[in-house]
Amino acid sequence: MKAVVLAAPGQIEVRTLPDPAPARDQVVVRVHACGICGSDLQLVDGTLAGAAYPFVPGHELAGEVVAVGADVADLRVGDRVAADPSLPCGTCAPCRRGAVNLCRRFGVIGASVDGGFAEYVALPARNAYVLPEQVSYAAGALLEPFACVVHGFQRLAPPAGSAFLVVGAGAIGLMLLELALRTAPAEVVAVERHAERRAVAERLGARAHATVAEALATRPEGFDCVVDATGVPAAVEEAFDTVAPGGRLLLFGVARASDRVRLAPYRIYRDEITVLGSMSVGHAFAPALELVAGGAFELERLVTHTVGLEGFAEAVELLRRGEALKTHVIPSLVDGSGAASAR
């Protein structure tokens, strides 16, 4: 099969590899769509721990089951599936508490083992979720980031009538906005620098501003639920200043390990502000799929570009330059040129 291989940090190749065969508890999936996200950039750059170079990246994938291991009872060839890429160890302290996303030996399909930027991928049957027919492969390949968003809301636990502020309206911020708009909010406000992304946020039903200061001016009493979807320390600090008494600030964006944010402990005490994080999917893949299957979310509209496997390197550059909201690699696309086709 053809597959994108990260041979080493900085080294993207498209190689021919042997077709994978399923282990007893695995299925093999023919990949129909696999999304690129920020952590893929870090894998390309070699700045993410836990990657097993050389390996096939790709953790936002959907496709069709083409082979089934001997012990697999719930799936059969032909099933349309999306994959939760999480591979918790099951025995570390967080795993034993049920906090699988905080696993001390966390593996990820597309980082610690081969992933979805390939014609085929082998993965544990328990990681594959059957897509009902109304859910497209494109939507299926968006379930992983959306499940992260749903997990974030499980952490946030916003009561009905909350006022929301989401800072950053990239693919993730837009999904956060879409979910916020559907959780009986008092209002939902986006902050985003790029006018076209603000326009998308507004189309979804949010109010949008270019700066946090502008957003706060429209609601001086502050927001009950504030979410950072940038990972930028300066944005987090500004976001903190907009939290209403009793409110919560969710750090959803991924900062660098060396970053620091400067927060006022007096406000955390006096206004009983809660600052919390959300990491990965946890147990949210199933509810994310329920939500998408229910028809209220139209995630596919976030896919602005599609490429074939040969287009992976170019897709990486599109993402780096902030030109694509979400690019899907479609292995069946024959794109000798590797040119991304904008949708």
19 binds, among Zn ion, ligand NAP, its own copies, none (CB under 5 to 8 A by kind): none
Question: What's the chain's length in residues?
Answer: 343
Burial class (CB in 10 A: 0-12, 13-18, 19+), 48: middle
Which residue number, 65 or 87, has a Cβ lying nearer to ligand NAP? 87
Assess contact for 116 and 3: CB atoms under 8 A.
no
Stretch touching its own copies by CB under 8 A, among 60-68, 268-276, 314-322, 329-337: 268-276
Binding track, positions 7-36, relative to its own copies; x by CB under 8 A:
------------------------------
Q: Which is nearer to ligand NAP, 32 or 326 (CB)?
A: 326
Q: Tell me how far apart the alpha carbons of residues 198 and 192 are, in angstroms, rounded to a whole number.
A: 6
If binding is defined by CB under 5 A, does position 103 make contact with Zn ion? yes
In this chain, which of 68, 122, 123, 150 binds its own copies, going by CB under 8 A?
150
* Largest CA-CA distance found in the chain, in angstroms, rounded: 61
88 belongs to the binding site for Zn ion (CB under 5 A): yes
Q: Which of residues 290-329 bind its own copies (CB under 8 A)?
A: 290-291, 293-294, 296
CB of 246 to its own copies, least distance (A): 5
Binding partner of residue 167 among Zn ion, its own copies, ligand NAP, none, CB under 5 to 8 Å per kind?
A: ligand NAP
Question: Could you count the other beta carbons within 10 Å of the beta carbon of residue 34?
Answer: 32
> What gap in Å lies between CA 158 and CA 230, rounded to an integer?
20
Q: Of the ranges 29-37, 196-204, 276-284, 321-329, which one interacts with its own copies (CB under 8 A)?
A: 276-284
Verify binding: residue 99, Zn ion, rule CB under 5 A. no
**Contact stretch for its own copies (CB under 8 A) within 10-18, 33-41, 115-123, 146-154:** 146-154
Please report which residue ranges of 89-164 form alpha helices under DSSP H: 93-97, 137-141, 143-156
The site for ligand NAP (CB under 6 A) is made up of 37-38, 145, 148, 167-168, 170-173, 191-194, 197, 229-232, 234-235, 252-254, 269, 278-280, 322
User: To the nearest whole angstrom, how small is the minimum distance from the Cβ of residue 340 to ligand NAP?
Assistant: 16
Cβ atoms within 10 Å of 98's Cβ, excluding its own:
11
Query: According to CB under 8 A, which one of 252, 303, 312, 318 is a site residue for its own copies?
Result: 252
What is the C-alpha separation between 193 and 210, in angstroms, rounded? 5
Q: Which does 230 bind (CB under 5 to 8 A by kind): ligand NAP, Zn ion, its own copies, none?
A: ligand NAP
70-99 residues in contact with its own copies (CB under 8 A) are 74, 90-91, 93-94, 96-99
Q: From CA 1, how far away is CA 58, in angstroms rounded?
A: 15
Binding partner of residue 246 among ligand NAP, Zn ion, its own copies, none, CB cut-off 5 to 8 Å per kind: its own copies
Q: Interface with its own copies includes 47 (CB under 8 A)?
A: no
C-beta of residue 206 within 8 angstroms of C-beta of residue 177: yes
Residues 6+ apart with CB under 8 A from 231: 253, 254, 255
- Angle ∠(127,128,132) on CA atoms, nearest 5: 145
- Interface with its own copies includes 134 (CB under 8 A)? no
Q: Are 165 and 307 in contact (CB under 8 A)?
A: no
For the bound state, the minimum distance from the C-beta of residue 66 to ligand NAP, rounded and expressed in Å, comes to 28
| Closest to 207 measured CA to CA, from 221, 194, 192, 222 | 192
